[in-house]
Amino acid sequence: MDITRFRFKTLQARLLILLLIPVVVILLLGGVASFWYARGIMLDQWNESAVVKLQRAAHYIEMRLLKPVDLLNALFQASDGDASIISPEQVTGFLQFMEGVVSVEYEPLRSPQSTRERGMPDMGYMDRMNADMQWGMRFFRSKIASVSGPRYQAGKDGQTVTMRITLSGPSEEILGHLAIRMQFDYLLKDILALGWWQSDMACIVDETGTYMAHTNMTMADRRSLGGSDDPLEQAILKKMDSQSFGTVTSQGHPPDMVAGFYKLDQVPWTIIMFADGEKILGPIVTYRNVLAFGIFVLAVLVLILIRFHMCRMVGQIQQLSTKAEEVADGDYGAPIPVESRDEIGQLVESFNDMVKGLEERDHIRNSFGRYVDPEFARTLMKHPEAGQLGGSRRKAVMLMSDIRGFTSLSENLDPELIVALLNQYFSHMIEIIQSHHGIIVDFYGDAILVFFDPLDEPLQDTAWRAVRCAFAMQEKMPGVNRELKEQDLPDLAMGIGIHSGQVVVGNIGSRTRTKYGVVGPAVNVTSRIQARAEKRQIIVSESVLEKVKHRVSVIDSTEVDLKGVDQSMTLYVIEPD
């Protein structure tokens, strides 16, 4: 199932699911893998330990069981070449006194007396003695021909094991059989001391699976392995058919029981050891529980860490979203605090820069409108007084242009043509004004009021900038008229007036709509001077001429009385030098 296809309502839920689930899955897979690995190692160790214990137990059983055989071999080898005669009575006497031996019986195939009676009935005394001596010589020169498998018996004398040893003479003839009956508990004596019997249950079975001994008293009525249809015992029997030793586990995790078996080499018996799976795998069960608890604690810690850092990140993202909505409504407010230097911190910082740029752009648009060159507007914004509502009194240079005869011209044109003509004219003039860093205060019909703010430059440079702007505007008019003529529109002629004086410069308006402009008597004087200019003329006041007189040519001058001005003024018509 692809969890990424689900729709998450919040980023926090998405991050919690997409981050926590993989972490928990990785921890669980790692824990399960380590558990199974450790479980396999511990089971292998128990298997090896069980086989070693069973092998040692089998060795001790065979060693005690075959001890009489070893004694017989030693007696026969010691008597070889000795003139002394070892009788069967002496042999049985030796064996009878061995530890763990219950009884020893010798069963000859024939005796000296029976030989005499059958073969030599009239034999004299010396002949009989010779015959007895010859039979005795054959016995002490005999050897063990074979040893039969021990036969387990449980009777009034307790649990015993009977072993039959066949003896043969020098000529390989069978002389007789020794039946040695031994205590079964004696065979198990050293096994109990080895510690392998300390399992929950241990037993010895013969080749048919019949119980010969077991330690569990609850199994006293059991006769054979697998008789109760127990799956574990059935598995042991099946494995015993193909292997001489091994281990078997029951079902469950951990298994309910584990068992190991080992077949004796010299005796057709099998030793089986059972143990409780929880005891054998106790450490791994503890490891599993500790691992599960550790994974849970680690998952909780990861959840806490993810949630802690994620809440900070999601909180900043939510703050960004809320701030974006406020900016969309025009409320810029204070910048968002940058709390980190990671990608989220960089995003917040970039967002603040973006909002600052938007606020600056809107402020430029609201303060300076579309009538100021953007680069010059940024220069204005570097001055605190330019961006605040209010103004300051200082000297500036004003320029006003007007189309001569436009009133009568507009009476003969359709309104659409008038607007198209003005738009085309203004587009060229505005471009020139902005290139000379002039600030358009307003449009009065076909007239344009522009002022040039000194800012950080001398007023002489500002005046020269205004004069150059007027020259450029007049130089552009032939090209404008050519475009108008191609559109069957009438030619235009423009008069320009320039004046320098003290004005109030600043943002005029309200907090919702402001305009960067100028007010004062000097503005009115500029309008009066512009009204005196003829077609294609540029007229400047004496205050302007004093600042640019070395850069222009004066072609005419006149003294006039202007409305609103107490004293007469001298105006100058100028052209480029």
Per-residue pLDDT at 126: 47
Beta bridge partners, 275, equal 258
Output the six-digit token pair for 549. 């007189």
Per-residue pLDDT at 260: 82
Instruction: Report the candidate in 542, 44, 71, 500 with the shortest Cα–Cα distance to residue 247.
Output: 44
The CATH class, in words, for 369-576 is: alpha beta
Where do we find the tokens 């072609």? Answer: 555
* SS3 per residue for 66-134: CHHHHHHHHHHHHHCCCCCCCCHHHHHHHHHCCCCEEEEEEEECCCHHHHHHHHCCCCCHHHHHHHHHH
Per-residue pLDDT at 40: 76
Per-residue pLDDT at 525: 93
> What does each of the 577 residues of the chain score in pLDDT, given as a tens digit?
454 455 666 666 666 677 777 777 887 788 778 777 877 777 777 778 777 877 887 888 888 888 888 888 877 776 665 545 567 777 788 888 888 888 888 888 765 444 444 444 544 544 444 444 444 445 556 678 888 777 777 777 677 888 888 888 777 778 788 888 888 778 777 665 554 444 567 778 887 888 777 766 555 666 788 777 778 888 888 888 888 888 888 877 667 788 888 888 877 888 888 777 777 667 777 777 887 888 788 778 877 777 777 677 777 777 777 878 877 777 777 787 777 777 777 777 887 888 777 777 666 555 555 545 566 566 666 665 554 545 688 899 999 999 998 888 888 888 888 888 999 999 999 999 989 989 888 888 899 999 998 877 899 999 999 999 999 999 999 999 999 999 888 899 999 999 999 998 877 777 666 677 788 999 999 999 999 999 999 999 999 999 999 999 999 999 998 887 888 999 999 999 8
Output the six-digit token pair for 397. 């240079």
In Å, what is the CA distance from 520 to each residue of 384, 392, 395, 459, 503?
22, 12, 11, 18, 5
Q: How far is 195 from 193, CA to CA, in rounded Å?
A: 6
Q: How far is 24 from 18, CA to CA, in rounded Å?
A: 11
**So where are the chain's domains?**
66-186, 369-576
